[in-house]
Amino acid sequence: MPAISKDLLASLRTAVRGKVLLPGDPGYDESRAIWNAMVDKRPALVVQCAGVADIEAAVAFARDNGLLLAVRGGGHNIAGKALCDDGLVIDLTAMRAVHIDTGTRRAWVEPGALLADFDHEAQACGLATPLGINSTTGVAGLTLGGGFGWLTRKYGMTVDNLLSAQVVTANGQRLHASEQEHSDLFWALRGGGGNFGVVTLFEFRLHAVGPQILAGLLVFPAAEGRAVLSEYRMFTETMPEDLNIWVVLRKAPPLPFLPTAVHGTDVVVLAVFYAGDPAQGEPLLAPLRGFGTLLGEHVGAMPYVAWQQAFDPLLTPGARNYWKSHNFTQLPDEAIEAMIDYSGRLPSPHSEIFIGHVGGRAGTVAADATAYHHRDARFVMNVHTRWESPGEDAACVAWARDFFRATEPYATGGVYVNFLTEDEAGRIGAAYGANFERLSRIKQKYDPDNLFRVNQNIAPAA
């Protein structure tokens, strides 16, 4: 790392309203603690930004002093790219403001905001946009990778609802990117990750949702998993876009609606969500109860914000995590067989296999309309391998990799970039498919020296 003189540090501290933290400073260790406990990096300094001017000053400082630069939003970041060793971290976690305009149905969101911040403001007005499924997810990282959630089948990907972005680029410019201004940059931001600058403000389109929606869980025994998944596969072929159903294969948590004897046993969970009038959704869910022997259910009308928080206890910070992911256009019998097999051999009680259902409106957009490419994906499978002790690392990672290989023949070859781990740089091309070369050219235009490279990196075109 290049030496940083006291005078340079003093000038940086003068240039920012937020804090500049060095190793040994109060708050430094807290500033480098992120959601995935497998990541333990020690930056040379952390700039906790209070506004856009702070971001500009931090970008310029890293660029002018040859420092490795990482950008930290507010959320999970499985790959640990929010931090770097011996470089500068731009910490955006204090910038969490959300402004809602009910007249135009627009939201303006700062880059440190979590889904909980967004939902709190938007649902006060009965509005929402497609985001993730955990309130502790960061809006910025999710959006820049493409973004999907319960509303995706009805309203598209998160990036399909992004209207503009304010960006600080590598050369220090503040740019407004939209379909009308810097449209190439706007195209790249909609799925290209943090490769092109620091987004300081997102503008989203909003939709009338809730505040009451229909949602909940249906739990079946893993012994009937093949039949349940086969029925699920057929059911999703014709279900309306208002309805979304995800699958979770795991050991049953001690949920109060499940008999005590079921706790800790292998189960198949259908997580159901209906975006319209709960009364109209009830008849649509009735067939699901016949997919197998129902061990328990908790389905009913509830606030949208409550459903967005329902899975938060499964993703609390401090555990060790490793993910592997595939996209599928279909779920053939062989893939289902592998899922049932490996879910019966989970390496820890906290691990799970989840299958997110997308398609719907998201699948009607052209593959080259945004940097996010995988419009053919109807199912996104992610393996949440999660455990507590470093002594479990080898067994848990090996299980996830073995399962990934077992299901690979039935997948599309594509992958959602936000699910890539730190050791999967070789799959970045698979995250962007035919859009990769265009992204590389845009990277050359806006970041030719690859200042923003602590990410799932798209190198500048030669």
Per-residue model confidence as pLDDT tens digits over 260-271: 999 999 999 999
Average pLDDT over every residue of 389-393: 96
Q: Given this model, what pLDDT does residue 4 score?
A: 84
Average pLDDT over every residue of 369-385: 97
- Which tokens in the block code for residue 445? 């235009």
Angle at 35 (CA atoms; ends 88, 190), nearest 5 degrees:
70
CA-CA distance, 400 to 383, in Å (whole number)?
A: 7
Q: CATH no. for residue 224?
A: 3.40.462.20
273 shares a domain with 180: no
Q: Given this model, what pLDDT does residue 75 score?
A: 86
442 shares a domain with 416: no
| pTM higher than the cut 0.85 | yes
User: Which of 156, 101, 95 lies closest to 131 in space, CA to CA?
Assistant: 156
Residue 127 counted as domain residue: yes
| % of the chain surpassing 90 pLDDT | 97
- Computed over every residue of the chain, the mean pLDDT equals 96
Residue 461 counted as domain residue: no
* Residue 336 CB neighbour total at 10 angstroms: 21
Residue 325 counted as domain residue: yes
Pairing of strands 45-48, 88-91: parallel
Confidence of residue 378 (pLDDT cuts 50, 70, 90): very high
20-47 tens-digit pLDDT: 999 999 999 999 999 999 999 999 999 9
Q: Given this model, what pLDDT does residue 188 score?
A: 98
179-234 tens-digit pLDDT: 999 999 999 999 999 999 999 999 999 999 999 999 999 999 999 999 999 999 99
Q: Given this model, what pLDDT does residue 1 score?
A: 55
CA-CA distance, 315 to 76, in Å (whole number)?
A: 9
- Which of 91, 106, 123 corresponds to the end of one domain? 91
Return the amino acid letter for 396: C
Q: Which residues of 96-105 are buried (b: 16+ CB within 10 A; e: fewer)?
A: bebebeeeeb
263 shares a domain with 191: no
- Which of 91, 115, 130 corresponds to the end of one domain? 91
* Residue 252 CB neighbour total at 10 angstroms: 22
154 shares a domain with 285: no
331 shares a domain with 228: yes
CA-CA distance, 97 to 108, in Å (whole number)?
A: 8
373 shares a domain with 315: yes
Confidence of residue 74 (pLDDT cuts 50, 70, 90): confident
116-137 tens-digit pLDDT: 999 999 999 999 999 999 999 9
Residue 289 predicted with pLDDT over 60: yes
Angle at 140 (CA atoms; ends 42, 28), nearest 5 degrees:
25
Question: Are the beta carbons of 241 and 153 closer than 8 angstroms?
Answer: yes
Q: Given this model, what pLDDT does residue 2 score?
A: 63
Number of domains in the chain: 3
104 shares a domain with 75: no
CA 142 to chain centre: 4
Pairing of strands 198-205, 162-168: antiparallel
Q: CATH no. for residue 151?
A: 3.30.465.10
Residue 3 predicted with pLDDT over 90: no
Q: CATH no. for residue 53?
A: 3.30.43.10
* DSSP conformational letter for 114: B
Bond into 211 cis (ω within 30): yes
188 shares a domain with 175: yes
The whole domain housing 108 covers: 98-209+435-446
CA-CA distance, 433 to 435, in Å (whole number)?
A: 5
Residue 174 counted as domain residue: yes
- Which of 91, 116, 146 corresponds to the end of one domain? 91
Question: Are the beta carbons of 252 and 262 closer than 8 angstroms?
Answer: yes
124 shares a domain with 25: no
- The contacts of residue 253 (CB under 8 Å, 6+ apart) are 263, 313, 314
CA-CA distance, 105 to 343, in Å (whole number)?
A: 42
